[in-house]
């Protein structure tokens, strides 16, 4: 192995804590945890509303909740992509 590959591997192996890796990823891509939290909130709200859905069919209720959860996640991913494009091309343009 060359010396630069050894330094990359040693740097990677010094940070072995799963929580530190997770926190680093969340700092790099902040819209991923926002999308995950929104998904969990929509699912929680859907489970709460399941009890009070009235005469709505179960399948229709589940379809609505699935669409709402997917919409939130896709919206968060879109915002994240737009934010990263803004940071890359508007705030600090390449020379």
**The whole model's pTM is what?**
0.62
Q: Tens-of-pLDDT digits for all 95 residues of the chain?
A: 555 555 555 555 555 688 887 788 788 778 888 888 888 998 899 888 888 888 888 899 889 989 998 998 899 889 988 988 888 888 887 66
Which 3-state string (H, E, C) describes the chain? CCHHHHHHHHHHHHCCCHHHHHHHHHHHCCHHHHHHHHHHHHHHHHHHHHCCCCCCCHHHHHHHHHHHHHHHHHHHHHHHHHHHHHHHHHHCCCC
């Amino acid at each position: 192995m060359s010396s630069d590959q050894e330094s990359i591997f040693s740097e990677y192996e010094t940070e072995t804590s799963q929580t530190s890796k997770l926190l680093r990823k969340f700092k790099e891509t902040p819209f991923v945890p926002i999308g995950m939290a929104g998904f969990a909130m929509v699912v929680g709200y859907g489970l709460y509303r399941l009890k009070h859905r009235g005469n709505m069919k179960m399948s229709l209720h589940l379809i609505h909740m699935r669409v709402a959860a997917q919409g939130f996640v896709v919206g968060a991913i879109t915002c994240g992509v737009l934010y990263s494009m803004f940071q890359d091309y508007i705030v600090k343009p390449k020379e």
